[in-house]
Amino acid sequence: MPPATRISRPVLIVVFVASSPNTVSSSYYDTFEPDIGTPGEYEGVPGNPVVPVTLRRRANATLLMLARNSDVDGAVRSVREMEDRFNSKYRYPWVFLNEQSFSDDFKRRVSVLASGPVHFGKIADDHWYQPSWINETKAKEERDKMEEEGVIYGGSLSYRNMCRFNSGFFYRHPLLQDFRYYWRVEPDVHFHCDMNFDPFVYMHENNKTYGFTITMYEYQRTIETLWSTVSDFVKEHPEYVAPNSAMNFLSDNGGNSYNLCHFWSNFEIADMDFWRGPAYTAFFNYLDLKGGFYYERWGDAPVHSIGAALFAGTDRIQFFREIGYEHNPYTHCPTEEDLWKRGRCTCDPAHSFDYDGYSCMRRWDRMEGR
């Protein structure tokens, strides 16, 4: 009897054309037939018949991780779980970014796990290190104060570099220019449920800009002047505010003050055409020149959240309740029994962070009329 052979189908590539140097208009970048059955099923093995396969559309998207070489063990765990729970079905590419060159060991250990193409990139110095207009004496004084007060990452310059990069520069990296959507994956996170749908395709077909799983309050001490800066920007540029903005998620008094709610950006699935667009570009540049990323500790989570809520609007933000996700110490676990079973979830719905006292999920529900 001849050895069993794995049946693979050809990939049909569809070329996309960018509408401008700053935006990508393609919805889908290819259509493909996945391998017959599931991994381990072969033609000619009893109990594993050849079955018809449906063409799958795959969005113009990538999985994205910012990591250092020292994060390799955590990166391996995250890549493995993402592949097992989702990407082995779709084979999306991965992009890894680092402010230093990736080591051969890092490349080897993550590449062997990826089902799609893998790209490694170094971040340009002017996208990572603090800009020339920052008064380092003043910035260091503020870092020292925060460290004395016990503010998390209060004394860290590298953390501030990361927050600024994630807020306004990652989507400008050359490796991301041909992609429209990204899914941010952190080292050492967990994906607890099988994902039986493609969130990238869902985002496009439903005109969604930003997707989240966890929402919470920001630490006031780190963003003391952020909201006043946002308010000044909105007064100068009211044309950028969406008619159906999610202001009521961010503020309890029509925008006079910030209630500190934001989407936890270590998980986000989003449309980079929005970040590259005129509203968010003007918004980020305005914030950047104020220096709050260094004089305070403005995080990319409130910056992205405020930008999406105000300039994209409520109906373009998606809560992915089906996706079981954990970034220690918080977990989103589907609480609907059918979703939990369908996803073969390993998390405990009773321990989901959704309606914890520090979560903003109730505010989001109220704003959506639930």
pLDDT at res. 94? 98
Q: Which residues of the chain have pLDDT under 50?
A: 1-25, 36-53
Residue 12 CB burial class (10 angstroms; 0-12, 13-18, ≥19): exposed
Bond into 329 cis (ω within 30): yes
- Reported as a single tens digit per residue, the pLDDT across 232-242 is 999 999 999 99
Give the start-to-end residue ranges of the domains of the chain. 1-59, 126-367
Tokens 């979703």 -> residue: 339
Q: At a CB cut-off of 8 Å and minimum separation 6, what does 19 contact?
A: 25
Q: Which residue has the tokens 């003050």?
A: 257
What digits encode the pLDDT tens for the residues 267-305? 999 999 999 999 999 999 999 999 999 999 999 999 999
pLDDT of residue 22: 44
Q: Active-site residues: which are they?
A: 268
Mention every residue, 6+ apart, whose C-beta is less than 8 A from residue 3: none
Q: How much is the pLDDT for 34?
A: 56
What does the pLDDT read at residue 368?
A: 80
Domain 126-367, CATH? 3.90.550.10
Residue 308 · residue 279 · CB < 8 Å: no
Terminal C-alpha separation, the chain: 61
